[in-house]
Structure formats: C-alpha cells, structure tokens
C-alpha cells in the first residue's frame, strides 16, 4: 500500500486565522484604503486619505484602526500629521490574485456563450 498523502490543509487554529483575515478584507472601504496605499506612493496622511476616499473621519479611522491592528498597515506620527503605509504587501497581491481569477472565470463564462450561434 502507498503512503497516505500528507495533508496540506492548515490545522483548525490556522483556519480560524485565515477566516479572520478574510473577514478583515471583506469590506469594500478597507479594500479601497489598501488599493490607494498600493498605488506607488510610499505613505499617505490621514487628511489625504480622507479627501481621496470621501469617507467621514470616523469611518476612515475605524477602518484604519482595524487594518493597523491586524498588521496590514503601518502608522507613524510626525508632529500633528499621522501617516499610513502598507505593512503587508501580500494583501494587495492576494487582491490581485482574486481579481485575476474572477476575470478568467468571467472570460471563460462568456467564451462558453460565444461558442453558440443563434
């Protein structure tokens, strides 16, 4: 008999960590923040983020706190200015991977219907 394949699935605790990460990223406003901070600018001020994202300060701060405490963003204070930057570059890569997968599935879906002539 052959060896039983080693499971690559993470342990239960690991699955909880992964689920928590996906819950964190399951908010459009948080994804907008991540996308804006991944546009090549090293860091952005709270004021800049607020004006570009058109969120209330309270809403923006709520999302920034969640992303910072999870280690996705880094925060530094310089005088009265608070600066935010990406601390975990794997998150935009994950978003790109999901987007590419969706686009491929969508293209395959439409290709399927193009094969039928009416």
For the entire predicted model, the pTM comes to: 0.74
Tell me the per-residue pLDDT of 11-69, one tens digit each, with 9 for 90 and over. 888 888 888 999 999 999 999 999 999 988 889 999 999 999 999 999 999 999 999 99
* C-alpha–C-alpha distance, residues 108 and 110, integer Å: 6
The model's confidence at residue 114, banded by pLDDT at 50, 70 and 90, is low
On whether the CB atoms of residues 92 and 34 are closer than 8 A, the answer is: yes
Of 43 and 104, the one with more pLDDT: 43
Domain boundary assignment for the chain:
28-114
CATH code: domain 28-114 is 1.10.10.10
CA angle 60, 65, 71 (to 5 degrees): 125
């Amino acid at each position: 008999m052959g060896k039983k394949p080693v499971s690559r699935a993470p342990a239960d605790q690991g699955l909880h960590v992964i689920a928590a990460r996906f819950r964190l990223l399951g908010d459009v406003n948080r994804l907008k923040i991540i996308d804006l901070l991944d546009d090549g600018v090293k860091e952005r001020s709270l004021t800049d983020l607020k004006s570009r994202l058109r969120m209330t300060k309270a809403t923006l701060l709520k999302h920034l706190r969640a992303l910072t405490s999870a280690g996705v963003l880094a925060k530094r204070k310089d005088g009265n200015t608070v600066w935010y930057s990406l601390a975990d570059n794997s998150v935009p890569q994950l978003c790109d991977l999901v987007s590419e997968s969706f686009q491929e599935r969508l293209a395959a879906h439409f290709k399927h219907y193009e094969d039928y002539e009416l």
